[in-house]
Amino acid sequence: MITDPLFYAAAIPAILIVGISKGGFGGGLGMLAVPLMSLVISPAQAAAIMLPILCLMDLVGLWSFRGKGFSPLLKTLIPAALIGIIIGALTFRYLSDQHLKFIVGAIAVLFTLNYWLRPGSKEPKQPSIPRGGFWGLITGFTSFSVHAGGPPLNIYLLPLRLEKGLYIGTTIIMFAAINYMKLIPYSMLGQFDTANLSTSAVLALLAPVGVRLGYWMHHRISEAWFYRICFVLLFATGSKLLFDAFTG
């Protein structure tokens, strides 16, 4: 098991923030954990440690938002995500730590800039099978590599202007399906060694706490302020990873 205090200084707040985001704010910051943990360990190891924890969070989230989710969207997104996962598994061995740091950092920075700079509200778009299939595939690939499927999924979902509860329920079901599908290739690639699984087991104690706290905050805390703070942190960690990728 990892014993470095610096790792837990990064991992504990990351898991709580991800749990809160999944439990009450649509899970858009699920990608925050790997960038934070990658400041101390390799992105590949961070992703392996996070996957069992994400699966546990998904179970709590599915229970909290049971009965919600837009099935016509999911019928397009989930099969496309499976193709993306397969592509991610086949290309995993060709990506070094520097490649992964660049991918994680670029997604974090670009997603944050899009959040800050995107134009105001527009008319809702209608669901599209071609667009849903494309962004579902990208979601599966980026989710497999570094659990960063939130940005591409939001690029497709946010313009649809779904009702808040329906949007959160759809994202929870989507990522629950993706995360449980990822368990098989992660196992085949040897990602679940004793050190990673034992570290996951310790950190997993925080998973239901974070998700239930997010569910409680869903109706009590300003979503705007939560995201303002977290996106500043996400931009900072993404920038640091990009710096490491280019100077390593």
Mean pLDDT by 10 residues, the chain (248 residues): 90 89 69 83 90 89 77 93 95 83 82 77 80 93 82 81 80 92 94 93 89 78 70 79 82
Q: Are 38 and 148 in contact (CB under 8 A)?
A: no
Nearest to 46, CA basis, from 10, 3, 91? 10
CB 146 within 8 A of CB 104: yes
Positive or negative: CA dihedral 242, 176, 58, 163: positive
What pLDDT score does 120 carry? Answer: 60
Rounded-to-integer distance, Cα 234 and Cα 185, Å = 28
Angle subtended by helix axes 150-157 and 97-117, to nearest 10: 30
Q: What is the pLDDT of residue 167?
A: 81
What is the spatial distance between Cα 93 and Cα 75, in angstroms, rounded to a whole number? 30
Tokens 């009965």 -> residue: 67
- Residue 78 pLDDT: 96
pLDDT of residue 203: 93
What amino acid is encoded at 138 in this protein?
A: I
Q: CA dist 87 to 48, 94, 146, 195, Å?
A: 17, 12, 14, 26
pTM score, two decimals? Answer: 0.80
Neighbours of 87 (CB within 10 A): 16
